[in-house]
Structure 1
Amino acid sequence: MTSQIFTPDVQQVLDLIGIFVFALSGGLLAVRKNLDIFGIAVLAEVTALGGGVFRDLVIGAVPPAAFQNMGYFFTPLVATLVVFFLHPEVQRINGTIQLLDAAGLGLFCVTGTAKAHDYGLGSVADIALGMLTAVGGGVARDLLAHELPSLLRWDRALYAVPALVGAGMVAVLIWLNALDGVTGTLAALVAFTLRMLALRYDWRAPRAWHRGSSSSGGESG
């Protein structure tokens, strides 16, 4: 199966790290929203697992992996306790969390695309589900917290685009029959690097082009 890019033990460790960091970001938003410990746990779980659960439901991989591997389910609860008791300290290492979050983004867009391919989807669907695996949990988190999802906000650095690029690379590698541990890692690194550069240089997607009003002279601006 192409989804098994890494050895099972390595895949497990990488997944748990990514899940833990995504859960921290969900928990921190819950603290900023002044939610109780249950609310923190819910946002942590949704952020960490939402993208993968959505992908698995779409491709028919049921029950989703998050409910088959209890390590996946309990890791966000550990993150919940960390945030509940140590959130000021966690906030102070926000740069490190962003670094690990970018790494999780790269990993999940790669493995999500590969898993979608294993279930017989076409390249376009593979890419879409790879991207959603990486960013879907964050979208669900923001919606539950009554916020416009970060990936739709023009004032936030690129997030979905790096995941889309990484997923696109995986789809090309699958088409070339060249996806393995090395090339999969390269695709994840590209997505990671793009995300870090977007944070460093505040790269944003362009907004709609503003034309000058035809009633004020008819020239475009």
Structure 2
Amino acid sequence: MGQFDVAIAEVITICGTFSFAVSGAFAAMQKRLDVFGVLIIAFATSVGGGTLRDILLGDTPVFWLKSANYSLLILVTAIVAVIFWKRIKSLKITLFLFDSLGLGFFTVVGLQKGLAYDLSPGICVALGTVTGCFGGIIRDILLNNIPLIFRKEIYATACIVGGIVYLLLDYIGVDPTFVKVISVAVIFLIRIIAVKYNLTLPRMY
């Protein structure tokens, strides 16, 4: 991986951290938690998936312990979200948009890390899905909500499709930067289209 690819991967990780920090902060404010509670939920949402990914890979200390920049970014993002939340007309829409962005960014980050460890394509997609989804699972459990991944909404499926798109584009030789951008966009758009048109996975009961 060249220096440019490393820089792009770092930018994607930062964008994902920021997006999930906003998502966690607004979810906590919906539950009317105090400032400390908002910070904890924002932090758990941002680093939960990446922490599990690194533990599964044996890559320790986990990514956010190697650099204080991630913790600082989460702290600043959560505080700014608390200060300006009254200017946001709908917490629900903001939460949804940033959660979908974070899902896309972190899915790509997890998939890339799996490829860096020479894992099989299927495992890489699974690792990307875990990275994208687990922070949201922790957030919802802490807030006493049923996690989105376990509801009828298309959530993990978007990660899987985005991961497959990533591998296909990479296989046919598309520029790596475009591969990342397109994969994030696919996941984001699937989430938006699924919610807008109420598309769901079939129920078994």
TM-score range normalised by the length of the shorter chain = 0.7 to 0.9
Matched, 1:153 2:135: no
More helix by share: 2
Question: What is residue 125 of structure 1 aligned with on the other side?
Answer: 123
Alpha-carbon distance in structure 2 between the residues aligned to 1:28 and 1:184: 27
Q: Unaligned 5+ residue runs, structure 1? A: 211-221
Give the CA deviation at 1:116: 1.2
Aligned to 2:21: 23
C-alpha distance in structure 2 between counterparts of 1:96 and 1:24, whole Å:
8
Sort the Cα spacing of 1:79 and 1:143 in 2 relative to 1 into closer, same or farther, 3 A: same
Q: Which of 142, 166, 177 is residue 140 of structure 2 equivalent to?
A: 142
- Residue of structure 2 equivalent to 1:54: 52
Distance 1:190 1:117 in 2: 20
Root-mean-square deviation (CA, aligned residues, Å) is 2.4
Tell me how far apart the structure 2 counterparts of residues 59 and 41 of structure 1 sit (CA, whole Å): 27
- Aligned counterparts of 1:123 and 1:84: Cα–Cα separation in 2: 40
Partner Cα distance (1:133, 1:84) in 2: 26
Taking structure 1 as reference, are residues 54 and 151 closer, same or farther at Cα in structure 2, changes over 3 Å only?
same
Q: Relative to structure 1, is the Cα distance of residues 97 and 136 closer, same or farther in structure 2, using a 3 angstrom cutoff?
A: same
Would you say the 8 A contact 1:166–1:190 is kept in 2?
Answer: yes
Matched AA of 2:146: L
Higher CA-based Rg: 1
The answer on whether the counterparts of 2:161 and 2:187 sit within 8 Å (CA) in structure 1 is yes
- Tell me how far apart the structure 1 counterparts of residues 88 and 68 of structure 2 sit (CA, whole Å): 25
- State how far apart, in whole Å, the 2-side matches of 1:37 and 1:84 are: 8
Residues 6 and 184 from structure 1, CA distance in 2 versus in 1: closer, same or farther, beyond 3 angstroms?
farther
TM, length-normalised to structure 2: 0.86
Counterpart selection for 2:83 from 79, 82, 85:
85
Contact 2:23 2:94 in 1 (8 A): no
Between the aligned residues of both structures, percent identity stands at 31
Question: What amino acid is the match of 2:200?
Answer: R
Q: Which amino acid aligns with 2:114?
A: A
Q: Secondary structure at the match of 1:124?
A: helix
